[in-house]
Structure 1
């Protein structure tokens, strides 16, 4: 298992940030397909994003279906206590022997929201799992950093 931690700050308050996360239209602006299921008071957001083979290691890309899609599921809280919130996220792609589990810790400071993302990347392939995890971490880090930056302007 590999871990990844990223931090980002947004120039919006926590409630506004959570509302953006729960808006399928915002995800669509970022090139993903999204659907929301409201589980009072929370929202389960399912996000589907195409994974171009050109962004993956050649050894992995050659074994994947032509139109591989990353499926992320976010559990977005509807009730926020004080100025903090926590979002759970899981991600996987059909044919990719990797699972991602993450916790997004959010805190409000003034009119800004600070995000700390902690992800665990694991592979179910015996013997070669560690190599696959090692190859996936930089790809995931790049995509996540890009999405965090783009999410602010969406």
Structure 2
């Protein structure tokens, strides 16, 4: 298992940022397909993003279907007590023997929000799992970092 951490600051308040994350149009503006399911008061957001084979290591790309996509599921809290909130995220892609489990911590900082992501990447392949994880982590880190930056602009 490999772990990656990312941090980002946003100008939105914590409650405004959570509302944006629970809005399908936010994810669509990032180039993903999104579906929201309200689980009062929370929102389960399923986000599907195409995974171009050209962005994958060749060892993985040869095993991916032509229309491979990353499927992320976020549980976004609807009620916030205090100045912090946590979002759970899981992700997988068909044909890629990797699971991602992340905890996203949001904290109100003045009028903005501080975001911290801790993601664990694991592979179910015996013997070769660590090599697969090692290949996937830099790609995942870049995609997540790009998305965090784009969320600030959407």
TM-score range, shorter chain: over 0.9
* Counterpart residue number, 2:147: 147
* Counterpart residue number, 1:88: 88
Please list every run of 5 or more consecutive structure 1 residues that lacks an aligned counterpart in the other structure. none
Q: How far is 1:55 from its partner?
A: 0.6
* Counterpart residue number, 2:23: 23
| Matching of residue 121 in structure 1 with residue 121 in structure 2 | yes
Partner of 2:85, secondary structure, is: strand
Please list every run of 5 or more consecutive structure 2 residues that lacks an aligned counterpart in the other structure. none
Q: How far is 1:110 from its partner?
A: 1.0
Q: Distance in 2 between matches of 1:137 and 1:105?
A: 20
TM-score relative to the length of structure 1: 0.99
Aligned CA-pair RMSD: 0.4
* Counterpart residue number, 1:76: 76
Which digits, 9 at most, give the CA deviation of each residue in 1:123-142, with x for residues without a partner? Answer: 00000000000000000000
| Matching of residue 5 in structure 1 with residue 11 in structure 2 | no
* Counterpart residue number, 2:97: 97
Structure 1 runs (4+) deviating above 2 angstroms are: none
Which digits, 9 at most, give the CA deviation of each residue in 1:90-130, with x for residues without a partner? Answer: 00001110000000000001111000000000000000000
Q: Distance in 2 between matches of 1:56 and 1:81?
A: 40
* Counterpart residue number, 1:108: 108
